[in-house]
Amino acid sequence: MLVESSRSRRSPPARQLIIASAVAAAVLVVVALLTVNGDRPAETRTAERFVAAWARGDFAAMRAELAEADRRTMPMRRFAKAYRTAAATATATAVAHGEVGELRDGVVSVPMTVATRVFGTIRAPLRLTFSQEGDDTHINWKRNLVFPGLAPGERLQRRTALPRRADILARDGTPLAQGEERGSPIGDVASSIVGELGAPPPQRLARLRELGYPSNATVGTSGLERVFEEQLTGRPGGQLRAGRRVLAATRPRPAESVRSSIDPGVQRAAVAAKGDRLGGVAVVRPRTGEILALAGIAFSGLQPPGSTFKIVTLTGVLEAGLAGPNSKYPVETKTTIEGVELENANGESCGGTLRYSFAHSCNSVFAPLGARLGAARLVKAAEKFGFNKEIAIAGAATSTIPPASEIGDDLAVGSSAIGQGRVQATALQMAWVAATIAGRGKRPQLTLERRRTPQRTQVVDAGVARLVGRMMEAVVREGTGKAAQISGVRVAGKTGTAELEDTTAPDCVPSPDPTAPSQCPAAAADDPTDTDAWFAAYAPAKRPRVAVGVLLVRNGTGGETAAPVARQALIAGLRATR
């Protein structure tokens, strides 16, 4: 009689069961995948890769699925261009695909969906045929595959028209440009800010085609017409055609009126204050970033900002802890960096505390301070205020400072720190700088649309911004910006006089013969056309409501010519924001 031992009846350990189960499951998964892949034709898998690449805009991956002969006739650049051209014609914004169909009679059909700006959502099949090359299956490519729904030999084309152009309104709702004639009841204000309509410049044609504009469209070429172009146009309408067939059709849809941030009173005052001089005046609300006025070349004219840039340098110095308001400096008429002399304006003797040196715009203090701050920290400080950043306003120039690695030696850094060298700014940029200090270090997002909700970013330490603000008050109270004073209002500002020519007298060695006539030229009188006049300011100093930037090209000094202009703009801005 056979008796089983207790060892032979013992159950397998739990761990063995778990491992065995896992192995069995893995085998089943592999078998299932092999079965599924074996059941799916190579044509289906190729079609899936092709449309998936299309949906993510990967033209290189799409082209890789083509037959070798088609790849030879359609180089990568031509292939991508064909799809981009079709997308622009259809005003396409996105492509998606559905479940790839079965292979039938050598064709795989894929349901495609194309979202467009002008023609709505287009749903049509993409029909693919294939060829075998060795063990690989590839797509036979024809030009009709650039867009779903096209039959062989058909070409994608469109006919579009624009709706009536929307009106532009001032901040208070007064029309600045209305109707087909673009007229305004306040023509003096409108003519200074609205801009003109005309044929689009070549660099904008591609974008306008993507938006659905007809080829003969008239567009905004300057001013608010240019800034608000896409909002004023509304949605074009028309037909998208596959040869003679209509794939989709829509009607033009007009846009609503655009209410700008421009205040007619402030705009009128800014234009009057600038007069017929070349330059620009920008007026901004520090809290919201709304632009109340733009006169002249306020947002398009780039010039060296001169000593208004010392606001940036001072901020960098204070944040780096290199000095404080009461730090002391020698009283000098000039300083020497890298063996080169940099003079104070008019050769005046200047120095003392940092506060006094800023109020009296001492180059002899700020150029060496800038060199000590260094290029990297100077550029970082400038970029906090918006330098090297595009302003989200069409046509606005970007104010710039070179990368730290390209500025150069200490002399170049020192020159940059006083707004010379290769630093470039617009009047709007310097109003933005003033608005950031006014906002206790919060940089507002600039806009030409009326805005009630502030959009600001803290870019400068609030305590540092308060210190800079107090030192800007000293500029107007007792320094170079006294001409910007307003009775009963504390104004904070900074003058700037940017040299455009070499204003230093040439070296001259007198003749050793005391009886001989002097060969040294007489000292030339100051020429106001050698310098740009700048002023950046805000008011009231305690609870700022308005900031300004003023540039007068080749028009003297900041304190004498730009500060009075800023004063008039500030007064108008304060009245408008009560």
CATH of the domain at 196: 3.90.1310.10
Answer yes or no: do 248 and 278 share one domain.
Answer: no
**64: nearest Cα among 56, 55, 107, 74:** 74
Answer yes or no: do 333 and 452 share one domain.
Answer: yes
| 15 inside domain | no
The Cα–Cα gap between 444 and 429 comes to: 12
| 421 inside domain | yes
Burial 389-401 (b: 16+ CB within 10 A, else e): bebebbbbbebbb
pLDDT at 517: 56
Answer yes or no: do 371 and 222 share one domain.
Answer: no
Answer yes or no: do 224 and 141 share one domain.
Answer: no
pLDDT at 420: 96
Domain boundary among 228, 259, 290: 259
Going by DSSP bridges, is the β-strand pair 492-499/136-140 parallel, antiparallel, or unpaired?
A: unpaired
Q: Are 174 and 164 in contact (CB under 8 A)?
A: no
pLDDT at 304: 98
Q: Looking at residue 485, which CATH number applies to its domain?
A: 3.40.710.10
386: amino acid identity, one letter: G
Answer yes or no: do 358 and 437 share one domain.
Answer: yes
Answer yes or no: do 78 and 166 share one domain.
Answer: no
| 561 inside domain | yes
122: tokens are 């287009």
Answer yes or no: do 169 and 82 share one domain.
Answer: no
Tell me how long the chain is.
578
Domain boundary among 151, 180, 204: 151
pLDDT at 508: 53
Answer yes or no: do 274 and 254 share one domain.
Answer: no
| 386 inside domain | yes
| 9 inside domain | no
Answer yes or no: do 333 and 474 share one domain.
Answer: yes
- Consecutive H or E run containing 405: helix 404-407
The Cα–Cα gap between 252 and 235 comes to: 6
Q: Looking at residue 51, which CATH number applies to its domain?
A: 3.10.450.100
Q: What is the pLDDT along the chain (578 residues), one digit of tens a residue?
A: 333 333 334 444 444 434 344 434 443 443 343 334 456 799 999 999 999 999 999 999 999 999 999 999 999 999 999 999 999 999 999 999 999 999 999 999 999 999 999 999 999 999 999 999 989 999 999 999 999 999 999 999 999 999 999 999 999 999 999 999 999 999 999 999 999 999 999 999 999 999 999 999 999 999 999 999 999 999 999 999 999 999 999 999 999 999 999 999 999 999 999 999 999 999 999 999 999 999 999 999 999 999 999 999 999 999 999 999 999 999 999 999 999 999 998 888 999 999 999 999 999 999 999 999 999 999 999 999 999 999 989 999 999 999 999 999 999 999 999 999 999 999 999 999 999 999 999 999 999 999 888 899 999 999 999 999 999 999 999 999 999 999 999 999 999 999 986 544 455 555 556 555 555 554 444 677 899 999 999 999 999 999 999 999 999 999 999 999 999 999 999 999 98
| 32 inside domain | no
Answer yes or no: do 444 and 316 share one domain.
Answer: yes
pLDDT at 513: 60
The Cα–Cα gap between 501 and 556 comes to: 12
Domain boundary among 209, 224, 259: 259
pLDDT at 225: 98
Residue 319: count other Cβ atoms within 10 Å of its Cβ. Answer: 20
The Cα–Cα gap between 362 and 270 comes to: 29
Asked if the bond preceding 264 is cis, omega within 30° of 0, the reply is: no
pLDDT at 502: 56
Phi and psi at 391, nearest 5°, equal -80, 135
Whether the CA torsion 393, 397, 401, 407 is positive or negative: it is positive
267: tokens are 């705009």
Answer yes or no: do 355 and 430 share one domain.
Answer: yes
| 26 inside domain | no
Answer yes or no: do 68 and 185 share one domain.
Answer: no
Residue carrying structure tokens 């308005």? 546
Total tally of structural domains belonging to the chain? 3
318: tokens are 């204070």
pLDDT at 308: 98
| 513 inside domain | no
Domain that holds residue 135: 42-151
